Amino acid sequence: MTSKQITSAYFPNTRLRRLRNKNFSRRLISETSISANDLIFPIFIIDGINIKQAIHSMPGIYRYSIDQALYIAEECLNLGIPAITLFPVIDSNLKTSNGIESINPDGIIPKCIKEIKKRFPELGIMTDVALDPYTSHGQDGIIDDSGYVINDTTIEMLVKQAVIQANAGSDIIAPSDMMDGRIGIIRNNLELNNHVNTLIMAYSAKYASAFYGPFRDAIGSANNLKNSTKLNYQMHPSNSNEAIREVYLDIKEGADMVMVKPGMPYLDILYRVKEKFEMPTFIYQVSGEYAMLKSAINNGWLDNNKTIIETMIGFKRAGADGIITYFALEIANLIKHNDFI
């Protein structure tokens, strides 16, 4: 028997590599696609004028004064990115144990929302509801003498913060605090204040992760938090079923969208949440993920374009309807110029 006969006899008629052979066929059979519509870009807002301040632990990401943030908002709009999310960088003199600056209607985030909406009303704005940027201790809520975050007292502040943000024009209220019951109370208060169409994206499965370090550097809370833990309200990385319970409760209380955070270490959670609830489900590719990848890219160890697109495909494949990522501008540019795998 000749080698040709052996090959013919033992190889199947179906050769999956045929479909992978050329670019056009790879595009035709692609099961997962990425577009600018999938992206939300986080922007750090600092008080002042004409400020673009580099964040050492997040190469290529900056803190912007409101006037400079307007240029970034316009860039997002031009690239087809549907929404941005805003995070405040608060002067240390304004940080208090109860985070009272978070409910200042003339604070930096309400002012920023108003300015962006005035210029670019069609751009979606998401705002963080939590106290950690505003507290002197760096926790996401109000603490007792032992350092424990008091759930219900914290919610009272979060509700006021959410309504102030909605009054300023925020389209999506995003509670990231992980207090029990806060979604339902915020939803009710938004309704009572005639914000019936204001969306809530709940940070539903938010883990107490080591990957948040650069974010805390960006907003200036790392030194406030020091060696304290957030494990008594954020989820432990070992738990999966608990995430399903958290998401279920947030949906029941009125969340319009749910989120899993961080991203890459929690793709199994993302998959389970999307399969279980079939809700609009988002993932946050957090600061540590960005810093880790960007450092490897800048050192020449990873290819920039292929790496960041591959991570996006992974999120989408696992079930994400949208992705909050510091790579959003880069990705949207790659999509615009068809410069990706």
Residue positions annotated with a catalytic role = 206, 261
**Which phi and psi (to 5°) does residue 108 adopt?**
-65, -40
Quote the crossing angle between the two packed helices 108-119 and 66-79, to the nearest 10°.
40
Question: Is 246 labeled as ligand-binding?
Answer: yes
3-state secondary structure of 125: strand
DSSP secondary structure, 79-119, as one string: HT--EEEEEEE--GGG-BTT-GGGG-TTSHHHHHHHHHHHH
CB burial string 249-280: b at 16+ within 10 A, e below: bbbebbbbbbbbbbbbebbebbbbbbeebebb
SS3 at position 288: helix
62-64 and 52-54 strand pairing: antiparallel
User: Distance (Å, rounded) from C-alpha 60 to C-alpha 57?
Assistant: 9
Q: Which residues of 288-323 are buried (b: 16+ CB within 10 A; e: fewer)?
A: bbbbebbeebeeeebebeeebbebbbbbbebbbbbb
Backbone angles phi and psi of 98, in degrees to 5:
-100, 0
Under 8 Å CB-to-CB from 168, ≥6 apart: which residues?
Answer: 105, 109, 110, 111, 113, 114, 117
Angstrom distance (rounded) from CA 66 to CA 58: 20
The SS3 call for residue 320 is coil
The answer to whether the CB of 292 falls within 8 A of the CB of 254 is no
Q: Which residues are annotated as a binding site?
A: 246
Annotated binding site for Mg(2+): 246
